[in-house]
Amino acid sequence: MTEIEAELQLKVWKELAINKQILMNAVASALQLDKDCTSDELKLALEATIKRSTEAELEVSKAREQAKLDVAAVDRKLAESQKALAAVEARLTEVQADQQKLQQQIINDRSSNERQMKKLKDSLAQKERALKTISTTLSDSPENVVKKLKTLRKQKMDESDARKKAEQALTALRKEKQKLEQDLKELQTTQVKHAEDQAA
């Protein structure tokens, strides 16, 4: 080995030693160790740092997995909420359709009842006229008067019974309409509450 080669080799070793020392000082500074620490202290500090880094990566991985699970749970709840909302909206549509049918039925029944009442009144008026005609035609003996009164009372009772039946039917329809309106209000309240919960 020539002297130049020896000097070159010495220079290379010197550069390597300086670079190694700079690297060790940088690592010691990064690990907040004394610059004059030993290689063993530096190794222990590096191992502890690597261990903490591995643990931190494991914690991050666990947190990511938990976040995935949480997101999946939220997605499931959202899907369930959307399904429930669709069911409520479908039920609301049904109730509204039922309410419209009921209102139409009430209108039809009212018209029918009014027609029946008019027929009954017309019939009553016609019978009263017939009774007057008969009364004037026949002699008004006490027996005839009693018979006429009984007949008239029976007719009035029949008309009264028919009127009561019509009023009862109308009352039942009104109660059913009120119940459907209450159901509709409850469904609307549920829908609003559900929309507020979903917005929150």
The candidate with the shortest Cα–Cα distance to 126, out of 137, 134, 115, 138, is: 134
Give Cβ neighbours of residue 102 (< 8 Å, ≥ 6 apart).
Answer: 173, 176, 177, 180
Coil, helix or strand at residue 35: coil
Q: What whole-number distance in Å separates Cα of residue 164 and Cα of residue 170?
A: 10
Q: What whole-number distance in Å separates Cα of residue 107 and Cα of residue 112?
A: 9
Predicted pLDDT at 66:
92
Residues written for the chain = 200
Read off the tokens for 36.
């004059």
Predicted pLDDT at 186:
83
The one-letter amino acid code at 107 reads I
Give the pLDDT of the chain (200 residues) as one tens digit per residue: 678 877 777 777 777 777 776 766 776 677 666 667 766 776 777 787 788 889 889 999 999 999 999 899 999 999 998 998 999 999 999 999 989 998 999 899 888 888 999 998 989 889 888 878 777 766 556 776 778 788 889 999 999 898 898 889 888 888 888 988 888 888 888 888 877 777 76
Predicted pLDDT at 51:
86
CA 98 to chain centre: 21
The candidate with the shortest Cα–Cα distance to 103, out of 176, 50, 28, is: 176
